Amino acid sequence: MPSDTDPTPKPTAHDALTALPEGALFTDDTTWQVARADKFALIVDAADYFRVLRKVFIGAKRELLLIGWDFDFELEMLPGEGDEDGLAPDGLPNQLGSFIEAIVERSPDLNVYMLKWNGAVLAAPGRLAPTVALSIFGSERIHFALDGHHPFGACHHQKIVVADDALAFCGGIDATEKRWDTSEHLPDDPRRICKDGTPSGPWHDATSALTGPAAAALAELSRRRWHRANGETLSPPNDTPPTPWPEGLEVDATDIDVAISRTEPPFDGKPLINEIEQLFLNGINAAERVIYIESQYFAAESICSALEKRLQEDDGPEIVVINPVEAESWLEDDAMHVLRHRMVERLMKADHQNRFRIYYPVTKAGEPIYVHAKIMVVDDRLLIIGSSNINDRSMGFDTECNVAIAKPAKVIERFRVRLIAEHLDVSPETFREAEGNDQQFIAAIEHLNREKGRGLRRLSRESPTLIGKVLADTRLLDPRYHPGEQTNAGRGLRPRHIAILAGGLALGWLAWRKWGR
């Protein structure tokens, strides 16, 4: 055994992984399938995504599979571009529901299957009426189902769209309210508006587009999810004509391998699938220079522990995390960002070489931009994008789907630079010049970052509330299953928890009525 003075370095898990061939990142533990994509593209922010989505829907001939956390059928897909009759520039209805009805009417062989998380109905009850109307009064070739095939409190969170088994999207963008924004994230953009007329805040998101066998694999995964949700077996469409690549969407890569990874909680006697977690961990352990993460949350214990170990090393990778400054509700903020604060404190303590940063982006007016993207980029050797957040739910409780590529290196590097350049409001070329030949990622960020206007701000946290401490200690809203655990392990929010919470709120309200006025 080497002594403390032995000059021979001790091997680490990082050494073992970096010594492996590139394809070793994609193993049976980390992927469901690895399939070829004839074409592959990355789409940043929903303004571009919704525009491309319309072109794909219009071109579909046999089948559209829409697997999502939520769909808002009153969504204006191209806000500010509809005429007085509600038609978009392509001559079809601007609203998502009416648009789907119109494309089905003009395509006699087209069937549309839409699978939505059943809990989204409770999260947004106002969207139930348009959904019911479309299901009952729409075409018989429009099929709608609610997915409740998961443990109580868990969420169907995948975000997949597939057209004719030939072209697919997989990422973090939901076709629902508040998601639309451009990459400029303009302050007070009049197109960024809710149905009730109130303004919607700036929103950052991303997804991927791909064709070929990889798209067919995502279609197979979607049909499996449909079958699990309602027992109906869907057959792949036959004799589909070639699906054209959407006009205006730049192809980032051709003829590459795409890995598809899942999270599925144990249910109906089936074990936990945590391929996404394993791929994240493989990527973190294999990193040599930079780990770049964009996520709605930052609370996964396994991910934090892996990052902590890398920061404890000498000359390990730089780690940069982009998060929203706060969650969408006070309860969610208490539940998730108290956990984030604890994770960040651990990482800062381990960071003995100033290699860790966590930021939130702001507009030119200084307004925080909500980060909903779910991305990890490791050096120029791994890019992961999908529905999975960096929290425990996404590692082993909710149903998730990610895609990943391990090459071409220039595509992976270009996407990382594109993302950080957007946040800093500089060109990719400017960022590369600042990064220089020594490739100091954090130094380049801080050199280009402005104290005022568009840029990145360091995250800080006020003292947590009592509720926040309880939620963080119990992980009541961020539970997970571990390998070997069964659904009856009692993870997550249970009916008794809801009753206790409701009772506590009621007692607090009564006390306020009696003594607090």
Task: Provide the pLDDT confidence category of residue 4 given band limits of 50, 70 and 90.
Answer: very low
Q: Please list the residues that pair with 9 across neighbouring strands.
A: none
Query: Per-residue confidence at 149, pLDDT binned at 50, 70, 90?
Result: confident
- Residues in CB range of 333: below 8 A, 6 or more apart: 326, 327, 468
Least confident of 190-204, 240-254, 497-511: 497-511
pLDDT higher than 50, residue 76: yes
Q: Can you say whether the dihedral through the CA atoms of 223, 225, 226, 228 is positive or negative?
A: positive
Instruction: Give the Cβ contact number of residue 480 at 10 Å.
Output: 25
Contact call for residues 99 and 66 (beta carbons, < 8 A): no
Give the C-alpha separation, 166 to 238, whole Å: 12
Distance CA 342, CA 136 (A): 48
**Predicted confidence (pLDDT) at residue 152 exceeds the cutoff of 80:** yes
- Which pLDDT band, with edges at 50, 70 and 90, does 24 fall under? confident
| CA dist., res. 247 & res. 288, Å (int) | 37
C-beta separation of 360 from 368 below 8 A: yes
What contacts 466, CB < 8 A, 6 or more positions away?
Answer: none
* Nearest-angstrom CA–CA distance, 40 and 18: 26
Tell me which amino acid residue 241 is: P
Rounded to an integer, the average pLDDT of 329-352 is: 93
Q: Give 411-425 pLDDT, tens digit per residue.
A: 999 999 999 999 999
**Unique residue bearing structure tokens 């001559």:** 91
pLDDT tens per residue across span 354-407: 999 999 999 999 999 999 999 999 999 999 999 999 999 999 999 999 999 999
Both structure tokens of 429: 């070329």
pLDDT at 127: 52
Q: Indicate the range of 6-15, 51-60, 284-293 predicted with least confidence.
A: 6-15
- Mean pLDDT to the nearest integer, 131-154: 79
**Tens of pLDDT along 117-128?**
988 665 555 555
More confident site: 211 or 493: 211
User: What does the pLDDT read at residue 486?
Assistant: 86
pLDDT at 3: 37
pLDDT at 8: 33
The token pair at 367 is 């307004």
Q: Does residue 67 have a pLDDT over 90?
A: yes
pLDDT in tens, 214-257: 999 999 999 999 999 999 999 999 888 888 999 999 999 999 99
d(CA 517, CA 508): 13
Lowest mean pLDDT among 96-105, 184-193, 340-349, 437-446: 437-446
Task: Check if the beta carbon of residue 165 is closer than 8 Å to that of residue 187.
Answer: no
Whose CA is closest to 171, among 460, 400, 422? 400
Question: Does the pLDDT at position 25 exceed 60?
Answer: yes
Share of the chain above pLDDT 70, in %: 86
Whether 66 shows a pLDDT value over 80: the answer reads: yes
What value does the mean pLDDT of the chain take? Answer: 89
Question: What pLDDT does residue 341 have?
Answer: 95
* Amino acid 21: pLDDT: 45
Map out the domains of the chain with their CATH numbers.
37-253 (3.30.870.10), 255-458 (3.30.870.10)
Can you give the pLDDT at residue 328? 86
Tens of pLDDT, residue by residue over 276-327, are 999 999 999 999 999 999 999 999 999 999 999 999 999 999 999 999 999 8
pLDDT at 92 > cutoff 70: yes
In the predicted structure, residue 130 carries a pLDDT above the cut 90: no
Residue length, the chain?
517
